[in-house]
Amino acid sequence: MFLFNKKLIMKSMWKFYIILSTIFLALSSFTVKNVKKSSPLVVVFWQFLMSMSLVFAYSFMLDQKLIFNPMMIILGLTYLISLSLYYYSLKISDLSKAAPVFNLSSTVSAILGIIFLSEQINAKIVGGIIFAAFGIYLLGGKK
């Protein structure tokens, strides 16, 4: 019984991680929005410096080996560019406008997952993409 519960808990651990991730990433966006009169790239610099040190500390504490792969160079650059563009849009717009558009990156990831990782596709997914397009139009249009 205990083993069954443990298995069940382990199976749904991703839900806990997602809640944690959502709260902390939202807090981060909110904090960045409060940084006044400075280049978004400088904000990204300080953010990266802090995060990198902490991720190193977490990996050390949890005894996780840091293994390099050349693909991570591309990952680092695409992440840097996407975050900088997002912070530029945050600087010249409202948090409640820019964040939802940026957040639709989850749709892009889902589509790429379906195409290249052979994840399932159905009518709901197509419906979701149409709703996403409407959402972007409404949040991006003039008031």
Partner 1 sequence: MKWVYYALMAMFLQGTTIFLVKTQLSNNNPYSVLFFQYIFGLSALSSYFLFKKENIFIGKKNVSLAILSGFFVSIGLISYYLAINETALSIVAPVRGTGFILLTSIMGITILKEKLSLKKIMGVIFCILSIIFLTI
* Window 68 to 127, contacts with partner 1 (CB under 8 A): 68-69, 71-83, 85-86, 88-89, 92-114, 116-117, 119-120, 124-125, 127
Rounded to a whole number of angstroms, the minimum distance from the CB of residue 4 to partner 1 is 18
CB of 119 to partner 1, least distance (A): 4
Residue labelled with tokens 């996780």: 64
Token duo for residue 80:
């840097």
58 CB-near residues (< 8 Å, 6+ apart): 64
Q: Does 25 bind partner 1 (CB under 8 A)?
A: yes
Q: 6 or 26: whose CB is closer to partner 1?
A: 26
Query: C-beta of 61: minimal distance to partner 1 in Å?
Result: 10
Contact between 50 and partner 1 per CB under 8 A = yes
Q: Cα-atom radius of gyration of the chain, to the nearest Å?
A: 19
- How far is C-alpha 131 from the geometric centre of its chain's CA atoms? 20
- 77 neighbors 116 (Cβ within 8 angstroms): no
Token readout for 3 is 């083993």
Is residue 7 within the footprint of partner 1 (CB under 8 A)?
no
Task: Considering the complex, state which of residue 5 and residue 69 has its C-beta at the smaller distance from partner 1.
Answer: 69
